[in-house]
Every structure is written in C-alpha cells, then in structure tokens.
Amino acid sequence: MNILIVEDEFSLADAVSAALKKEGFSSTIKTDGEEGEYGALTGSYDLILLDVMLPKKDGFEILHSIKEEKIKTPVIMLTAKSAMTDKLAGLENGADDYITKPFSIRELLARVKIVLKRNNNIEDTASLSFGDITLDTKTAKLTCGENEVKISGKEMNLLEYLLINQNQISARETLAERIWGFDSEAEYNNVEVYVTFLRRKLGLIGSNVKIKAVRGLGYRLES
C-alpha cells in the first residue's frame, strides 16, 4: 500500500508519513505542485493526499489533471479550515473526500482507511469503536455485546463522524456540512433529527454510549 502525499509543509508531510508508516502504509512526499502532479500521473499509488495551496500548481489543477487522464487513484483533499468553497469544489471535481486543516492524525488515518476500503483496496473490515459500541461501516451494523442494529445512510455518516472525532466536540455546522453538504438552518434541524434517531438505536441495543449535546457547540460521544 503506497500513498502519495502532496504537501508543501515539510513538517506536516513528515508527520503524516510517519503516522501512515506505523499503520503499515508506505508513502512518497512531493512538496510542490509540479512534482506532485508528475507523481500523481505517473506513479502507482493506492491513494493521493492532496493539499490545495501549493507552489507552482495548486491542488485543484492537479485534481483536474488526474481526472482528465482518467486515473482511478482515490484522492483526499487537504483544505484550509475556512475555505468552504474549496471543499465543495474538491468534491464536485471528483475528490473522494476532504479533510480540513488543522486535522488530527487520528482523523486523517480513519479517513484514509475509509477511502481505501470504499475503493476495495483494503481487506479488513472498517470498524470504529467507542465505549461498548462498534460500528462496522462495511456491513452497516452497529453492535453492543450480543445486540446489533442496522444503521445506514445519513445515520451511518453521522455516527461515523462522531466516532472518528470521539475525542472532540463535533460542531453542528461541521456535521451539517459534512453530511448534507451545506451549512444552513435547515440542515441543523436534520442533524438534531438524526441525533435523535441514533440515540434511539443506541438505546435499542442497550449501549451506555450517549450522544451528548454540548450547549451552543455541537455533540460529543460519552460513555
């Protein structure tokens, strides 16, 4: 499993590379847009982590070239926190996922695994755990001990996000944008509705895990 990292911040690229190595993935770092594009178009990679702001050529130009050359390698864009339009542009132009800076290495690794799995490049099941629950994103089953319940669609996306970001508060705005694509009042209501659905399912399987609303901020898992 070889991952191409196109990132001009050396320390970040190195940290990502080291974390991937611990998980058994090898990686190659390219620190400018031209080299990154060359690598993406000519190399044999299982995944490309692509920064947007790069010297010589930006991430969107590279993404465009990748798609134009019909290269099937999945791409995760690394975008700046405030650049909402960047995220949408990335997804519309064929990126498989995006992650906003600053990100935790834990979230990055989880996203890498999910994208690889979605592209069938990885064998084991995509399971995420917290407290007494385990979500298998491949079979769409949420289990607690002997009990299990089917979970799919937006519920799955929401719980997956909360599990990946289990050590922090997930802002309502981020959830709305990540799951429904837009950050608006209507989508905030959706988040609340789906949190209610998930709480019901957690109760159904007898889990101690709670989705706690942190007033004014968002949600966090508690056990």
List contacts with Ca ion (CB under 5 A): 8, 51, 53
- Which lies closer to Ca ion via its Cβ, residue 53 or residue 91? 53
CB nearest Ca ion: which residue?
Answer: 53
* Least gap, CB of 9 to Ca ion (angstroms): 6
* Least gap, CB of 29 to Ca ion (angstroms): 13
* Least gap, CB of 144 to Ca ion (angstroms): 42
- Which lies closer to Ca ion via its Cβ, residue 57 or residue 64? 57
Inter-CA distances, 60 with 9, 40, 44, 48, 112, Å = 17, 13, 20, 13, 19
* Least gap, CB of 45 to Ca ion (angstroms): 19
Nearest 10 degrees: Cα torsion 213, 214, 215, 217: -110
Helical (H) or strand (E) element with 63: helix 59-68
| 8, HSE (Cβ side, Cα atoms, 13 Å) | 14
- Which lies closer to Ca ion via its Cβ, residue 79 or residue 166? 79
- Which lies closer to Ca ion via its Cβ, residue 54 or residue 116? 54
> Do the beta carbons of residue 97 and residue 111 sit within 8 Å?
yes
| Residue 74: both structure tokens together | 């999945």
